[in-house]
């Protein structure tokens, strides 16, 4: 499995290098209430979409501040804890399914390659997870609102889906052909494993005493709850999770032997 991008590295890369006087700007938005901050986010989001820019540091700063504001004041109740556990379970089970399917297909493709398939020069297998936003039906409506009606969760889900780093890239698996690999090798030899599964990611935000009954947090939960700009309130309202495994069969076309030439007629 190839090395994965690190979310914190991406956020450092997407720093405020392009935003002049960023400290003054951050001091300004830190004084805003949650509803005021979201009003600004909506305006910046419309500008960002119209501009066709790659990113907007003002919008990024506001989203980061919104996450900080919500997470700092988050109220853990039986219902919110239940949904934190739900998301963690979905991501834990889903990532295991994706890895298992990738491993199964990896062996099948290696076997096909070794048997001399006349099409297959190379192949790629990509396993990914995502939570696409479509419309308001993509956002759960909970029985209680821990932010007292100050947050427009549907609008923020749209903004976050549009502006956040691709969760599938950050969390995905990738396998490809390499000389010397045999489909009968062990999972360890073929690196059909994820070392992050050996670690309990109940750290930082996820080490709250109210979450102590959740015995294990997977890496993907840490990535989503902690490293990205989704607040706890956003994550527990995620409804649509998608798990995908894609196989690309590659053929490089006509092969020329060393010293051979293409004749022109």
pLDDT tens for 33-86 read: 999 999 999 999 999 988 877 778 899 999 999 999 999 999 999 999 999 999
Alpha-carbon distance values, 63 to 41, 111, 123 (Å): 7, 47, 38
- Quick one: pLDDT band at residue 263, thresholds 50, 70, 90? low
Contact (Cβ atoms closer than 8 angstroms) between residue 149 and residue 36: no
Mean pLDDT of the chain: 86
| pLDDT for 259 | 57
pLDDT tens for 123-143 read: 999 999 888 888 899 999 998
Collect all residues with Cβ–Cβ distance below 8 Å to 265 and sequence separation of at least 6. none
Alpha-carbon distance values, 194 to 82, 98, 208, 218 (Å): 27, 11, 26, 11
**28: three-class secondary structure by DSSP:** helix
Single out the residue of 84, 83, 88, 40 nearest to residue 64, CA to CA.
40
CA 1, CA 191: separation in Å to the nearest integer? 6
Whether 18 has a pLDDT exceeding 60, the answer reads no
| pLDDT for 1 | 44
| pLDDT for 153 | 95
The token pair at 158 is 């749209």
The token pair at 97 is 């399914």
CA 63, CA 130: separation in Å to the nearest integer? 20
Whether 7 has a pLDDT exceeding 50, the answer reads no
The token pair at 9 is 């590295």
Single out the residue of 252, 245, 257 nearest to residue 120, CA to CA.
252
DSSP character string of 161-202:
HHHS--HHHHH-EEEE--TT--TTS-HHHHT-S-GGGGS---
Range scoring the smallest mean pLDDT among 36-45, 118-127, 185-194, 236-245: 185-194
Whether 8 has a pLDDT exceeding 70, the answer reads no
- Distance, C-alpha 206 to centroid of its chain: 17
Alpha-carbon distance values, 236 to 79, 146, 154, 240 (Å): 10, 11, 13, 11
Collect all residues with Cβ–Cβ distance below 8 Å to 209 and sequence separation of at least 6. none
pLDDT tens for 91-102 read: 999 999 999 999
- Bridge partners (DSSP) of residue 248 are 124
CA 199, CA 202: separation in Å to the nearest integer? 9
Indicate yes or no: pTM above 0.85: no
Contact (Cβ atoms closer than 8 angstroms) between residue 62 and residue 30: no
């Amino acid at each position: 499995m190839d090395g994965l991008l690190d979310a914190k590295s991406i956020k450092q890369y997407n720093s405020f290098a392009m935003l002049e006087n960023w400290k003054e700007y951050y001091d300004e938005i830190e004084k805003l209430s949650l509803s005021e901050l979201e009003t600004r986010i909506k305006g910046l989001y419309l500008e960002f979409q119209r501009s066709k820019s790659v990113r907007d540091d003002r919008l990024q700063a506001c989203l980061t501040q919104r996450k900080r504001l919500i997470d700092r004041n988050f109220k853990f109740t039986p219902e919110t804890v239940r949904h934190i556990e739900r998301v963690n379970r979905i991501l834990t089970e889903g990532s295991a399914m994706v890895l298992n399917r990738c491993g199964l297909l990896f062996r099948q493709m290696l076997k096909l390659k070794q048997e001399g398939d006349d099409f297959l020069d190379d192949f790629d297998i990509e396993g990914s997870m995502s939570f696409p936003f479509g419309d308001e039906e993509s956002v759960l409506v909970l029985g209680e609102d821990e932010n007292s009606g100050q947050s427009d969760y549907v609008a923020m889900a749209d903004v976050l889906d549009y502006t956040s780093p691709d969760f599938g890239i950050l969390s995905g698996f990738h396998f490809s052909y390499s000389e010397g690999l045999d489909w009968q090798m062990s999972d360890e030899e073929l690196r059909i494993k994820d070392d992050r599964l050996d670690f309990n990611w109940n750290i930082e935000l996820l080490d709250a005493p109210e979450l102590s009954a959740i015995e294990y947090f997977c890496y993907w939960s840490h990535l989503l709850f902690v490293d990205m700009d989704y607040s706890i309130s956003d994550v527990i309202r995620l409804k649509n999770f998608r798990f995908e495994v894609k196989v690309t069969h590659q053929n490089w076309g006509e092969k020329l032997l060393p010293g051979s030439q293409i004749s022109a007629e």
